Amino acid sequence: MEASKVIHAIYTDDDVLMSAVKRVKAEKHHIEEVYTPFPVHGLDKAMGLEPTRIAIASFIYGCIGLTVAITMMNFIMIEDWPQNIGGKPSFSYIENMPAFVPIMFELTVFFAAHLMVITFYLRSRMWPFKKAENPDPRTTDDHFLMEIAVHGNEKELESLLKETGAVELNFVDKEAH
Amino acid sequence: MYTFSNKLKTVSIALMIIGALGVVYGFMTSHKSFEEVETILAEEASHHGGGHGEEAAHGTSHDTHAAEAAHGEGHGDSAESHVDEHTKHVEHVRHQIANRPWSAVYVAAFFFFMIALGVLAFYAIQFAAQAGWSPVLFRIMEAITAYVLPGALIVLGIAVASGTIGHYNIFVWMDPEVVEHDKLIQGKSGWLNLGGFIIRGLIFIAGWSLYRHFARKFSLAQDNADVNDNRNFKKSFRIAAGFLVFYIYTESMMSWDWIMSVDPHWFSTLFGWYVFASMFVSGITVIALITMYLKSKDLLPFVNDSHLHDLAKFMFAISIFWTYLWFSQFMLIWYSNIPEEVTYFVTRFADYKLPFLGMVVMNFVFPLLVLMNSDYKRIPWFVVMAGIVILCGHYIDVFNMIMPATVGDRWFIGIPELSAIMFFAGLFIFIVFTALTKAPLLAKGNPFIKESEHFHY
């Protein structure tokens, strides 16, 4: 991406931010990103982001976990070292299945949860030793920041954003990354 | 104000009339003479054909033996003659056939009552949690809970009638002759006796109905109160919290009394929870179904997709919760394999394989797959379909809890069962929709009503 000029509009309230996002979208400006200290309900819809596909990923991870559990218990308890526990000899997976259900359940949840979190981090471009993309540390505390691309329309944007209740406006030359 | 449409009223009355006729028919055909039962058994044995006949007869007598033991009728002498054995078997089957219409009515009565009680608990939780999403649905919940009092009285009435005017057709421990020969029931007679059963039942019903009465009263009073006057809401909040404590104890004891005691030798410590999960999910499903029905008539402009979405989420979640409890109960008993306990599941696997395993598919696998996707929870016909399957599944759940103890392998979902369902469905619709006409469909005085109207996901 070539170097580009952006404007950072800072807000102090999530409701004000929401209406500002709607207003800016209505005026057909491109919002690059919004940084918030906490998830703002409905912001993704207002920004026109695509719906998340993490649910599908999570379902697939769950299925993988279930398969791993079945294969693992079948190998451990039936094939490799069958034992007679409580008068129930382990000769058949299906007949001993009730005993394995808790493991099947737990591994399904384990795989779905952990892989989903890891996927979410990677998809959000977060990994160890990564330099924070966050342009202003105040957005981790109590401020909201909207980043809009500028294409020679500084004046127009400035007045629009002021109207929407921005408390601060900064023009920034963004480095290519 | 809602007006009970004539069409629906006719449907509910027709259901009651047809159902009542079927129930009467069920009772009239259930009294067989000794010879008739003998013929039935002989016919059944011959149906299996030649070589199988003996095996089948053998199998049946085995079953009977097990069932008899479960009934606490005792084995008697091992030196008993064959003739005695035969007479006993025929008598036993005759009794089971006579039990069927009683059990059919009882199962259906309990099923519809538990829907109303589940909704009452759900309603109280909304108040205790000061939920902001649900107040637009309060009038629907209040209407459903109108069935708690009549429904519970009917269930208790049938139970008591079976032990007084009937021939101990549902609860064997009500039969003094059985208790006389049964050490285990004698040991439990401090709890399991008719007087205690009636008194406890009346206390439960009084507590639930009192809460229902005052919650409804405060809800209506809040509608007419000043905007800044939340006293009625606060009172409702307080009694809801108190009721929930009362409810979880009495619901548990009710499930021992009204359901678990049909197998007086058997017990399960999480039975109360298990029945609770069943009534909770059925109740929430009925809230969703009635909401969608009224919405389709354009009577609920303030209910949006997100409310439906939340109800469907509850249906999904509580279905899984039900499965968790069902499986927890099953697995521990299966694993430990203690004869007194495991007989419960042995009879169900031997004689009730289809309803017992079918119910797990209907109550778990189906809602899990159908309601998992977020978007599907907002499509009314999808939720209706899932809801109907869940309700049928939980009817079968109650069926599986009662029938094995009363009719053994003589079960079928035929005229007595279906007409009992129709009768109580008609009564339920009649009472619930009559209650709906008594107040505006929006609880406009609730302090959270604005939040609820603007609720979005």
SS3 assignment for chain B: CCCCCHHHHHHHHHHHHHHHHHHHHHHHCCCCCHHHHHHHHHHHHHHCCHHHHHHHHHHHHHHHHHHHHHHCCCCCCCCCCHHHHHHHHHHHHHHHHHHHHHHHHHHHHHHHHHHHHHHHHHHHHHHHCCCCCCHHHHHHHHHHHCCHHHHHHHHHHHHHHHHHCCCCCCCHHHCHHHHHCCHHHHHHCCCCCHHHHHHHHHHHHHHHHHHHHHHHHHHHHHHHCCCCCCHHHHHHHHHHHHHHHHHHHHHHHHHHHHCHHHCCCCCCCCHHHHHHHHHHHHHHHHHHHHHHHHHHCCCCCCCCHHHHHHHHHHHHHHHHHHHHHHHHHHHHHHHHCCHHHHHHHHHHHHHCHHHHHHHHHHHHHHHHHHCCCCHHHHCHHHHHHHHHHHHHHHHHHHHHHHHHHHCCCCCCCCHHHHHHHHHHHHHHHHHHHHHHCCCCCCCCCCCCHHHHHCCCC
Percent of chain B with pLDDT over 70: 93
Kindly list the strands in the beta sheet with A31-35, ordered across the sheet, starting from the edge strand earlier in the chain: A31-35, A144-149, A4-11, A168-174
CB A42 to CB B456 under 8 A? yes
Instruction: Using the predicted structure, report yes or no on whether residue B68 has a pLDDT greater than 60.
Output: no
Size of interface A-B (CB pairs under 8 A): 20
| Minimal C-alpha gap between B360 and chain A (Å) | 14
DSSP label at residue A150: -
Give me the pLDDT at residue B228, please. Answer: 86
Cβ of B375 under 8 Å from any chain A Cβ? Answer: no
Cβ of B336 under 8 Å from any chain A Cβ? Answer: yes
Q: How many domains does chain A have?
A: 2
Instruction: Mark whether A108 and A74 lie in a shared domain.
Output: yes
In a domain, A103, yes or no: yes
Which residues of A are less than 8 Å from B336 in CB distance?
86
In a domain, B209, yes or no: yes
Amino acid (1-letter code) at residue B193: N
Instruction: Using the predicted structure, report yes or no on whether residue B352 has a pLDDT greater than 60.
Output: yes
Which residues of B are less than 8 Å from A55 in CB distance?
373-374
Instruction: Using the predicted structure, report yes or no on whether residue A88 has a pLDDT greater than 80.
Output: yes
Query: How confident is the model over B58-84, as a mean pLDDT?
Result: 50
Span of A47-61, B200-214, B232-246 with lowest mean pLDDT: A47-61
ipTM field: 0.76
pLDDT-based confidence at residue B348 (cuts at 50, 70, 90): very high
CB B330 to CB A101 under 8 A? no
Which residues of B are less than 8 Å from A101 in CB distance?
327, 331
The DSSP element (H or E) to which A49 belongs, if any, is none
Amino acid (1-letter code) at residue B384: V
Cβ of A98 under 8 Å from any chain B Cβ? Answer: yes
Cβ of A63 under 8 Å from any chain B Cβ? Answer: no
Strand intervals (E) in chain A? 4-11, 31-35, 84-85, 88-89, 144-149, 168-174
CB A98 to CB B330 under 8 A? yes
**φ/ψ (deg, to 5) at B165:** -85, -25
In a domain, B1, yes or no: no
In a domain, A86, yes or no: yes
**B48, exposed or middle or buried, with CB in 10 Å at 0-12, 13-18, 19+?**
middle
Give me the pLDDT at residue B83, please. Answer: 78
Cβ of A86 under 8 Å from any chain B Cβ? Answer: yes
Instruction: Mark whether A58 and A119 lie in a shared domain.
Output: yes
Contacts of B425 (CB under 8 A, 6+ apart): B12, B15, B19, B112
Give me the pLDDT at residue B49, please. Answer: 52
Q: How many domains does chain B have?
A: 1
Cβ atoms of B106 and B158 within 8 Å: the answer is yes
- Range of the structural domain that residue B226 is part of: 6-453
In a domain, A164, yes or no: yes
CB B327 to CB A87 under 8 A? no
Instruction: Mark whether A110 and A62 lie in a shared domain.
Output: yes
From the candidates A44, A56, A90, A101, which should be mutated to test the interface with B, based on the most B CB atoms within 10 A?
Answer: A101
Instruction: Using the predicted structure, report yes or no on whether residue B394 has a pLDDT greater than 80.
Output: yes
Query: How confident is the model over A128-153, as a mean pLDDT?
Result: 88
CB A55 to CB B335 under 8 A? no
Amino acid (1-letter code) at residue B90: V
From the candidates B334, B371, B376, B455, which should be mutated to test the interface with A, based on the most A CB atoms within 10 A?
Answer: B334
Instruction: Mark whether A31 and A58 lie in a shared domain.
Output: no
Which residues of B are less than 8 Å from A59 in CB distance?
372
In a domain, A22, yes or no: yes
| Minimal C-alpha gap between A56 and chain B (Å) | 9
- Range of the structural domain that residue A104 is part of: 54-123
In a domain, A149, yes or no: yes
Distance, in Å, from the CA atom of A151 to the CA atom of A154, rounded to the nearest integer, reads 8
In a domain, A158, yes or no: yes
The domain that holds A155 is classified in CATH as 3.30.70.120
- State the average pLDDT for chain A: 89
Which residues of A are less than 8 Å from B337 in CB distance?
86-88
In a domain, A130, yes or no: no
Cβ of A109 under 8 Å from any chain B Cβ? Answer: no
Instruction: Mark whether A118 and A159 lie in a shared domain.
Output: no
CB B331 to CB A42 under 8 A? no
Residues B230-288 have pLDDT tens digits of 999 999 999 999 999 999 999 999 999 999 999 999 989 999 999 999 999 999 999 99
Instruction: Using the predicted structure, report yes or no on whether residue B81 has a pLDDT greater than 70.
Output: no
Instruction: Using the predicted structure, report yes or no on whether residue B204 has a pLDDT greater than 60.
Output: yes
